[in-house]
Amino acid sequence: MSEIQIFGMSPLKGEISIQGSKNAVLPMMAAALLHRGTTVLMNVPDIRDVACMTDILEHLGCRCRRQGDCMAIDARQIEQTAIPDCFVCAMRSSIIVLGALLGRMGEGGGCYPGGCLIGARPIDLHLKVFRELGAQIEEKDGHLRVRRGAGGIRGAEICLSYPSVGATEQAILASVLAEEVTVVHGAAKEPEIESLCDFLNNMGAVICGMGTEHLMIQGVRRLHDSSFRVDGDRIVAGTYGAAAAAAGGDVLLKGVKPSDLREPLRILGRMGARIQPEEKEGRIRISMDGVPGAVHICTGPYPQFPTDLQSPFMAALACGQGTSRVEEQVFEARFAAARALRAFGARISIREREAVVEGTRPLMGAQVMAPDLRGGAALAVAGLAAEGETRIGNCRHIERGYEDICRDLSALGARIRWVKEDGT
């Protein structure tokens, strides 16, 4: 295991290209199962979660070939319909493979999903989607099995009580090859949902209503070979925006849509940053001269503030001035990073779903462990604004979603590097 070493208090300056989106590419890889042929994805990030999804697809019978940031998935022959426990427990996103297996093979199975420990994250809406499409569900000893019912998988009108991204993806994947039309009311509106629909339409699916809470999927008999470029990762871009706010400086983030980050960019502006979005060019310039000012952040489904950026922004506020409030309305247990930030001298108090952050500058370098994916990135943000040395362990969490956070931040002038167990 390696650690991240940071010597803070160096402003960030320069430009970097943002990697492909983790939350977009994983459901696309699952969707490749629906086509009895080859799918090519471009701008695929080199992260642990993509490696895990690749292992799942290969276990099921796909042939996956990667060259640089391009991945070709040959799904002509699917031999298995059960996902091994080791993959499901490692990555919660693996549950979306069930919808694709149901649509392609008529059945799929696996244990209950794992991944980051950020609350219960029940899958009741996923199961509701399967039932309304006509699937039968067996639950036994912590395992699920979904099977096509006697009437097959048929279009349905599905009403989601909450705009769950995962449940919306399940509905899309399970109904693309179904008989008749499926309408999803209360669908998630995240950019990653729109990307998945664009990707499937590019394969021959018929989906409309993207960007609204009403999706319509007209079932088709077959899909065709295709290639598709994955958008830049808005959460990685937002993390580096929080880093710029914490450390100060002037950074240009390329390869990401500013419109996908409207609320985080608005919050950065209220914190004192100067924001120059360039939608056509797909880039954002973020400049920060002073220290972050106090703001109120409340997470919620898109287009509200993304829960995945709550921890990195909290880290930036911890080294600012004034009293900020952060309300977590998506997951009930996502303040593990707040507890870790206290090791830097951050003054953060937690009351149920709200964290009160009293800005303190400078923070002090600390030896900490990454509690989860985004919490680990938040500790890196704090280290950039801390005096002295910071060491972050348990970095496998960070590698699940960031190609190389040290490479990117050091390209902006940060004093950050990977340190192996032998100190090199």
32 shares its domain with 13: no
Residue 99 domain-assigned (yes or no) = yes
Residue at a domain's end among 202, 224, 246: 224
Return the structure tokens found at 122. 């029940």
Residue 261 domain-assigned (yes or no) = yes
C-alpha span between 309 and 31 (Å, rounded): 26
Q: Are 180 and 224 in contact (CB under 8 A)?
A: no
266 shares its domain with 383: yes
Residue at a domain's end among 224, 245, 268: 224
C-alpha span between 128 and 132 (Å, rounded): 6
Q: What is the identity of the amino acid at 130?
A: F
299 shares its domain with 167: no
150 shares its domain with 290: no
273 shares its domain with 169: no
12 shares its domain with 36: no
212 shares its domain with 261: no
Q: What is the identity of the amino acid at 260?
A: D
Active site residue 406: no
269 shares its domain with 294: yes
Give every residue of the chain whose pLDDT is below 70, as ranges: 1, 114-121, 333, 422-424
C-alpha span between 169 and 283 (Å, rounded): 27
Residue 123 domain-assigned (yes or no) = yes
Q: Which residue has the tokens 């492909």?
A: 20
158 shares its domain with 264: no
C-alpha span between 143 and 137 (Å, rounded): 10
Which pLDDT score is estimated for 334? Answer: 77
Distances (CA, A) of 380 to 16, 95, 125: 17, 29, 34
Which pLDDT score is estimated for 168? Answer: 98
208 shares its domain with 286: no
Residue at a domain's end among 179, 201, 224: 224
Strands 135-140 and 354-358: unpaired
Q: What is the identity of the amino acid at 48?
A: R
pLDDT tens digit sequence for 54-104? 999 999 999 999 999 999 999 999 999 999 999 988 888 899 999 999 999
Distances (CA, A) of 100 to 31, 136, 143, 387: 6, 15, 18, 49
The enclosing domain of 214 has a CATH number of: 3.65.10.10
Residue 283 domain-assigned (yes or no) = yes
Residue 424 domain-assigned (yes or no) = no
Residue 357 domain-assigned (yes or no) = yes
375 shares its domain with 265: yes
Q: Which residue has the tokens 């093979």?
A: 105
182 shares its domain with 266: no
**Please, which residues have CB within 8 angstroms of residue 184's CB and are 6 or more apart in sequence?**
158, 160, 168, 171, 172, 214, 215, 216, 217
Distances (CA, A) of 149 to 98, 102, 131, 339: 15, 10, 9, 47
Which pLDDT score is estimated for 116? Answer: 47
Beta strands in 58-186 (DSSP E): 63-67, 70-74, 107-111, 135-140, 143-148, 157-159, 181-185
Residue 408 domain-assigned (yes or no) = yes
Coil vs helix vs strand at 135: strand
* Other C-beta atoms lying within 10 Å of the C-beta of residue 85: 14
Domain extent, residue 377, equals: 3-18+232-419
DSSP string, 362-384: SEE--EEE--SHHHHHHHHHHHH
Rg (CA), the chain: 21
Which of 52, 62, 111, 116 does the annotation list as catalytic? Answer: 116
DSSP string, 295-339: -EEEB-STTSB-GGGHHHHHHHHHTSSSEEEEE--S-SS--HHHH
Which pLDDT score is estimated for 405? Answer: 98
Q: Tell me how many domains the chain contains.
A: 2
Is residue 314 classed exposed, middle or buried when 0-12, 13-18 and 19+ CB atoms within 10 A define those classes? buried
Which pLDDT score is estimated for 93? Answer: 83
Residue 45 domain-assigned (yes or no) = yes
